[in-house]
Amino acid sequence: MVTEGKDRYANIIPIAELDSAEKRIHPFPVYNRLRQTTPVRYDETRSCWDVFRYDDVHAVLKDPAAFSSRRALAVREKETILTMDPPRHNQMRSLVNKAFTPKVVNDLGPRIAAITDELLDSVLSQGRMDIVHDFAVPLPVIVIAELLGVPPEDRHLFKEWSDVLVKGPEQNTDEEFRQVIDEKIKATDELTAYFTKIISQRRTETAEDLISILLRSEIEGQKLSDEEVISFSILLLAAGNETTTNLITNGVRRLTEDPQLQQRLSQTPEDIPAFIEEVLRYYPPVQAIGRVATRDIEIGGQRIKAGDQVVSWVASANRDETKFDNPDQFILERKPNSHLSFGFGIHFCLGAPLARLEGQIAIRKMMERMKEIQLQSGIQLTPIPSPFVYGVKEFPVSFRTL
Ligand code: HEM
């Protein structure tokens, strides 16, 4: 089904309780209250259910038969693994898994470290930088572009396209919805034309980039069509860039909130993977995940009807006191740390190993080369205008070099 209307965006309007920039920067007390008072509730304004408790969020995500990922697609939006249900999801996911192996990701480590160093080289002497624009935005864009085999001179196009793909309306007006939709259509058309060109090149020359591997991948005689490779490549941009940007920025934000943590990570860099996991739990880049009920079903004592939209708030689940001790404390030693920030079950984030690796390398390089990282004084943090993505538009810091 294709829809141009508001239904597509029904569940990306912010929840009414997060009605100020301040609350969207610090939404956790609001989630804590909603989890206590209305753990599963229907929101008339957004025409969807909200689920706030860990066990309920987990129950929704682990049951794709009852909670489908299929949804009305926006104009030009193609079906991808993100919006497929079994059995098609299993087939496609196995195919892309073949290209996105741990080895492919781990082999990227030295390249990610080199890109990270280059980005830091260009700002270190200034003693100040904007973490978002100078560092956390370019890093994942360059990594994905290289992974896909996109030439360096086209990277800036990728950044522009990927920004538009994840953009949500800032004001809830019809005019703005229309404008955002038009921009997305334009970006998708341009990306499709771009990838079509790349694919025809890759068909004639053998290369080892992700697109070439995807074109060759085969399961039981089945291959991906050009169109499927294009949709998947576009999905990687949309799903991988802004999320990783926010993981890095949210991590640095946490370090500026706790200078002792900075010292500790610079002395014991082996704690950085645990730090990244706790950042994912504490400040999750994706706050909520949408599904549609396929049948009448009860969750948390509420009767959800077939066809109802269900929004699972992982940002709330990650602070559920029945699952995590002292959930509002940032605890590096937390074990196990079963946060739901990459989702759960069959749609568990395909890019999680890459996002973790990028996050860890970004923080490790910063700890090796910088100290006393502080948010510049007088800065008012502005939330990203998307209720599902958690992060800030800018994060200007000052620091000393090592
Ligand atoms: C799926 C979060 C980075 C590619 C997901 C899902 C979440 C998520 C919550 C599940 C969605 C659902 O259940 O409907 C994140 C976060 C990231 C991140 C927080 C960074 C910190 C990446 C990266 C890539 C990526 C770097 C690729 C380069 C994907 C894909 C899926 C997905 C392809 C769909 C998997 C499927 O439906 O089977 N991600 N993601 N993500 N992610 Fe990520």
- DSSP string covering 237-292, please? HHHHHHHHHHHHHHHHHHHHH-HHHHHHHHH-GGGHHHHHHHHHHHS-SB-EEEEE
For residue 260, report the distance from its CA to the centre of ligand 1, in Å: 31
Which of 173-177, 240-244, 276-280 bottoms out in mean pLDDT, i.e. has the lowest? 173-177
Our answer on whether the CB atom of 243 is closer than 6 Å to any ligand 1 atom is yes
pLDDT of residue 328: 98
The answer to whether 17 touches 1, Cβ cutoff 8 Å, is no
Mean pLDDT over 376-395 rounds to 92
For residue 342, report the distance from its CA to the centre of ligand 1, in Å: 6
Confidence of residue 151 (pLDDT cuts 50, 70, 90): confident
Our answer on whether the CB atom of 82 is closer than 6 Å to any ligand 1 atom is yes
Residue 39 has pLDDT above 50, yes or no: yes
The residue among 26 and 14 whose pLDDT is bigger is 26
Our answer on whether the CB atom of 285 is closer than 6 Å to any ligand 1 atom is yes
Other beta carbons within 10 angstroms of residue 165's beta carbon come to 20
Our answer on whether the CB atom of 276 is closer than 6 Å to any ligand 1 atom is no
Residue nearest to atom 6 of ligand 1 (CA): 349
Separation between Cα atoms, residue 292 and residue 15, nearest integer Å: 18
Our answer on whether the CB atom of 69 is closer than 6 Å to any ligand 1 atom is yes
pLDDT of residue 12: 57
Residue nearest to atom 1 of ligand 1 (CA): 349
Separation between Cα atoms, residue 95 and residue 317, nearest integer Å: 31
Our answer on whether the CB atom of 318 is closer than 6 Å to any ligand 1 atom is no
Tell me the pairing of strands 288-293 and 309-313: antiparallel
Residue 383 has pLDDT above 70, yes or no: yes
Location of structure tokens 């990650």: 318
Mean pLDDT over 283-293 rounds to 96
Our answer on whether the CB atom of 18 is closer than 6 Å to any ligand 1 atom is no
Helix (H) or strand (E) holding 48: strand 48-51
Mean pLDDT over 117-123 rounds to 96
Other beta carbons within 10 angstroms of residue 98's beta carbon come to 15
Other beta carbons within 10 angstroms of residue 236's beta carbon come to 20
How many Cα atoms occupy the beta-carbon half-sphere of 346 within 13 Å?
Answer: 22
Our answer on whether the CB atom of 104 is closer than 6 Å to any ligand 1 atom is no
Write the ipTM.
0.99
- Among 358, 340, 140, 371, smallest CA distance to 255 is for 371
Residue nearest to atom 5 of ligand 1 (CA): 349
Write down the mean pLDDT value for the chain. Answer: 91
Confidence of residue 124 (pLDDT cuts 50, 70, 90): very high
pLDDT of residue 280: 98
β-bridge mates for residue 42, sequence order: 49
The answer to whether 220 touches 135, Cβ cutoff 8 Å, is no
Mean pLDDT over 116-123 rounds to 97
Identify which of 162-166, 229-233, 351-355 has the greatest average pLDDT: 351-355
pLDDT of residue 271: 98
pLDDT of residue 203: 86
- Among 129, 193, 119, 110, smallest CA distance to 157 is for 193
Q: Which atom of ligand 1 is nearest to the CA of 344?
A: 13
Confidence of residue 5 (pLDDT cuts 50, 70, 90): very low
Our answer on whether the CB atom of 289 is closer than 6 Å to any ligand 1 atom is yes
Pocket test residue of 349, 350, 386, 390 for ligand 1, highest count of atoms within 8 A of CB: 349
- Token digits of residue 276: 């990244």
For residue 401, report the distance from its CA to the centre of ligand 1, in Å: 34
pLDDT of residue 376: 98
pLDDT of residue 205: 84
DSSP states of 342-399 as a string?
Answer: T--GGG--TTHHHHHHHHHHHHHHHHHHEEEEEEPTTPPP-B-S-SSB--BS--EEEE
Q: Is the dihedral of CA 26, 30, 32, 35 positive or negative?
A: negative
Separation between Cα atoms, residue 80 and residue 224, nearest integer Å: 12
Mean pLDDT over 336-340 rounds to 97
Our answer on whether the CB atom of 351 is closer than 6 Å to any ligand 1 atom is yes
Residue nearest to atom 26 of ligand 1 (CA): 240
For residue 254, report the distance from its CA to the centre of ligand 1, in Å: 22
Residue 1 has pLDDT above 70, yes or no: no
Our answer on whether the CB atom of 188 is closer than 6 Å to any ligand 1 atom is no
Our answer on whether the CB atom of 286 is closer than 6 Å to any ligand 1 atom is yes
DSSP states of 63-75 as a string?
Answer: -TTTEE---PEET
Over residues 57-86, the pLDDT tens digits come to: 999 999 999 999 998 777 677 889 999 999
Over residues 308-331, the pLDDT tens digits come to: 999 999 999 999 999 999 999 999
Separation between Cα atoms, residue 148 and residue 142, nearest integer Å: 10
Our answer on whether the CB atom of 240 is closer than 6 Å to any ligand 1 atom is yes
What's the DSSP call for residue 51?
A: E
264-295 burial: b if 16+ Cβ within 10 Å, else e: ebbeeeeebebbbbbbbbbbbbbbbbbbbbbe
pLDDT of residue 172: 66
pLDDT above 70 coverage of the chain, percent: 96
Q: Which atom of ligand 1 is nearest to the CA of 290?
A: 14
Q: Which atom of ligand 1 is nearest to the CA of 343?
A: 9
Residue 4 has pLDDT above 60, yes or no: no
The two most distant CA atoms of the chain are separated, in Å, by: 60
Over residues 182-213, the pLDDT tens digits come to: 898 899 999 999 999 999 998 888 888 889 98
